[in-house]
Amino acid sequence: MDKTTLIVFSDDLDKVLAAFNIATGSASMGMEVTMFFTFWGLNVIRKDKPSKRSSNWMKRLLGMMNLGGADRLKLSKFHMMGIGTGMMRALMKKSNMPSVKEMISLSKELGVKMVACTTTMEIMGIHKEDLIPEVDMIAGVATYLENAKESKVNLFI
């Protein structure tokens, strides 16, 4: 079976939408898809509530600045205090494009595998309980490479 492996590094709304578009498109064509969420991309698969568990003040501060949750993602351009991002969401709705949350559900239905990056979680003080239940596994670069090596489509987004 042909494989697609995507590294989702960014949490920009536009890039995340592109990633899910390629993921669901690949799955619809019968490909086996793995999305590897790393660095800011981890915010896409975090629960809306900020994690408060860390005993390290820097991780707590980073947690306050860097809020997770699929509904919080912003455009990489024209965010403009929320106006641009809100407009894009409205235009997407008008064009019957699914939201990121709907994209996550659709991906799960289509069998897309979602992996959270161990290293990022450790640096940023994010715990397993902070991630949405749709996440299939927590793994490192070796797992990514095993998948990527056998993939016909492999992108860094």
Positions that interact with a copy of itself (CB under 8 A) = 2, 4, 7, 9, 14-15, 18, 21-22, 25-26, 28-29, 31, 38-40, 56, 58-59, 61-62, 65-66, 76-78, 84, 87-88, 90-92, 94-95, 97, 119, 122-125, 140-142, 144-145, 148-150, 152-157
- Give the phi and the psi of residue 146 in degrees, each rounded to 5: -55, -40
- Give 52 or 96: the residue with its C-beta nearer to a copy of itself: 96
- CA-angle at 57, arms to 137 and 73, nearest 5°: 50
d(CA 74, CA 118): 24
d(CA 11, CA 67): 11
| Minimum CB distance to a copy of itself, residue 138 (Å) | 15
- Give 126 or 135: the residue with its C-beta nearer to a copy of itself: 126
User: Taking a C-beta distance cutoff of 8 angstroms, is the pair 124, 42 a contact?
Assistant: yes
